[in-house]
Amino acid sequence: MAGILVVEDQGDIANLVRMHVEMLGHRVQCCDTLAFARRALAAGDWDLLVLDLALPDGDGLELCRELRQQNAALPILMLTARATEHERVQGLESGADDYLAKPFGVLELQARVRALLRRAALVEPSVDERPIEIPPLRLDPARRAVRRGGSALELTATEFDLLLFLARRPGVVFSRQQLLSEVWGYHHQGYEHTVNSHVNRLRAKIEEDPARPRLIRTVWGVGYKLEAATA
């Protein structure tokens, strides 16, 4: 049973999320302000944060950035009624692992929760898989650890799974839809910027110069591939 913190000030939506996540067998606590959420995060041990962006005492993006600046690996599912792609991308770039646009279906909510918990290592990692070398990166799937040269990198669960998926297939080009299906576990159209935002965040952590990436390469009109950096 996972512990899930829901930060949502609209009571009907909070109750909807609580009811359908509890149906999956998880423990749920609801908060209606950022201040309440910060206290709950400090006091409890949580496996997933479901976070609305528009809250009475501030923007949920503030909390998202705070957690990522602390290198917190807590998975974050963003809820948003914001209509534009720019606003949704802003949330992903701030550190959210995934998002749901309001109004959303309860089956889609449950699918996203399952996928995020699965990626957050609530299942046992493969202890038999050997470390993967993609110079200058070294990935250890069993420990869910990444090093660049001699330095350990702090990745979220989703960032690690995206990098690991690409590293297991070096040089292979994957479309954004393929990555959504394989890493996020769903096939919905219109969520390609979820992949783009995570690639941008990964590049900021693994590339020597994120503006000129040499590890995660964009194949224009197709998608992305991972290959060893060349001199």
Same-domain status, 26 and 95? yes
Same-domain status, 33 and 117? yes
Same-domain status, 56 and 88? yes
Q: What is the pLDDT of residues 53-86, one digit of tens each?
A: 889 999 999 999 999 888 678 999 999 886 577 7
Three-state secondary-structure class, residue 84: coil
Q: Is residue 203 part of a domain?
A: yes
What's 117's domain CATH number?
Answer: 3.40.50.2300
What's the rounded Cα separation, in Å, for the pair 185 and 118? Answer: 10
Looking at residue 225, the DSSP 8-state letter turns out to be E
Same-domain status, 11 and 116? yes
Same-domain status, 50 and 149? no
Q: Are 205 and 159 in contact (CB under 8 A)?
A: yes
Among candidate residues 94, 122, 150, the one where a domain is terminated? 122
Among candidate residues 72, 92, 122, the one where a domain is terminated? 122
Q: What is the pLDDT of residues 89-111, one digit of tens each?
A: 888 888 888 888 888 999 989 99
Please give the residue range of the domain that contains residue 17: 3-122
Q: Is residue 141 part of a domain?
A: yes
What's the rounded Cα separation, in Å, for the pair 112 and 119? Answer: 11
Same-domain status, 95 and 168? no
Q: Is residue 127 part of a domain?
A: no
Looking at residue 15, the DSSP 8-state letter turns out to be H
Token pair in block for residue 159: 């960032």
Among candidate residues 122, 144, 160, the one where a domain is terminated? 122
Q: Is residue 231 part of a domain?
A: no
For each successive 10 residues of the chain (231 residues), what is the average pLDDT?
95 96 96 96 93 92 90 85 74 87 90 85 57 93 88 89 93 92 72 86 94 94 88 54
The number of distinct structural domains making up the chain is: 2
